[in-house]
Amino acid sequence: MPKTLTARTILDQLVAFPTVSDQSNLDLIEWVEGYLDDLGVSATRVWNADRSKASLYASVGPEVEGGIILSGHTDVVPVAGQNWSTDPFSVTERDGRLYGRGTCDMKGFDALALTAVPLALERDLKRPLQIALSYDEEVGCLGAPDMIDEMARHLPRAAAAIIGEPSMMRVVTGHKGSTGWNVHVHGHEVHSSMMHKGVNAIMEGAKLIDWANRMNAENRAKTPGALAATFDPPWTTVHVGMIRGGTASNITAKDCRFCVDFRVVPGENGADWDARLQEEIARIEAGMKEVHPDAAITAECRFEMPALVPETDGAAERTVRRLTGDNGSHVVSYGTEAGQFQARGYSAVICGPGDIAQAHQADEYLSLEQFAAGERFIDDVVASLCR
């Protein structure tokens, strides 16, 4: 393996690993470790429980506080069922765009972050560059917390964490928090002609889904607070995106499973929304048990993600505004690892190449223009560490 690779070559390598969240990312992690090792940089893995996946972090430069973290995730969303015109796991350049799963979200930034390492080795850094690559961001930012905790224990505290989610290289200072719940409605099967003696899990689950609709309507009707008003939409949303259940049209459904996700505006407490969900579940469940004592609803929290709250004179925002020249006010409704860095005492901001509208889509792409802007930004980040 050569000592240094171009950002485009690294991107080709990263996209070729099909790191969909339900698969391992270890082949990619091993490749990154090998690349860094050839540069003389050691990396540390932070494993998941069954060691099927790992995050990775590394540091270049003096062991002093005040450095900069470049953080990205290694997983991508599925391509199944999408109509791609190119191989999603091979970068295809066409019409000024780089097509491939993850080019935008967010292996493009990962590739750029890795090009910063040889740049940092060539220069007289006064403060360290730290690289952080996580797993399972797409299913609730599951891999980042342990990685951040390990970095806080073993590396000098960085002054700024830059999370390179696609923002068109704008400085994003806030995002919503979120929680996700797996809901299982346990019914009681009878023939549908005697449905009053059974408990239809689908129809009972629909009551909870209707509660979500009512909450969205109520939240939308409220006058948002000053901080919430900057978001689109400027209210907390309750979403159900997957559902399955039942065995036949003439049997009351024994089981119904679906997901309930909250995206909570800063200023509201995610725990309060979780409590409201539990209250509604208890109310519906009580009616089910009046028909049959074994009927029940269980809800398991599958992730919790804190909001990124705009900081007052935050070091990360100040640094990235200086490097990009962007002084606009930008917040996003999607969640990232930035909130997890901030919750652990790091100043954090989002800034990366690409348009979030392209993320998760068939024929996902990153424009060459944005990729080049990202390269210039990375060079400026490294230069700033020499001052």
How far apart are the C-alpha atoms of 201 and 259, rounded to whole Å? 14
The helices-and-strands tally (H runs, E runs) of the chain is 9, 16
Reading the block at residue 206, the tokens are 């629909």
Residue 212 near residue 236 (C-beta atoms within 8 A): no
Alpha helices by DSSP H, 169-295: 201-221, 270-291
Q: Determine whether 337 is an active site residue.
A: no
CB atoms within 10 A of CB 222: 11
How far apart are the C-alpha atoms of 107 and 342, rounded to whole Å? 22
The CA–CA distances, whole Å, from 356 to 102, 167, 305, 331 equal 11, 7, 19, 12
One of 12, 33, 75, 138 is an active-site residue; which one? 75
Q: Determine whether 137 is an active site residue.
A: yes
How far apart are the C-alpha atoms of 334 and 105, rounded to whole Å? 12
Nearest to 151 by CA among 275, 33, 68: 68
CB atoms within 10 A of CB 247: 11
How far apart are the C-alpha atoms of 182 and 3, rounded to whole Å? 46
Residue 349 near residue 165 (C-beta atoms within 8 A): no
One of 33, 110, 136, 137 is an active-site residue; which one? 137
How far apart are the C-alpha atoms of 282 and 381, rounded to whole Å? 51
CA 173 to chain centre: 15
Helix axes of 368-384 and 108-122: crossing angle, nearest 10 degrees: 30
CB atoms within 10 A of CB 231: 20
How far apart are the C-alpha atoms of 58 and 95, rounded to whole Å? 35
Nearest to 169 by CA among 311, 354, 380, 322: 354
Residue 1 near residue 31 (C-beta atoms within 8 A): no
User: What's the full length of the chain, in residues?
Assistant: 387
Cite the active site residues. Answer: 75, 137
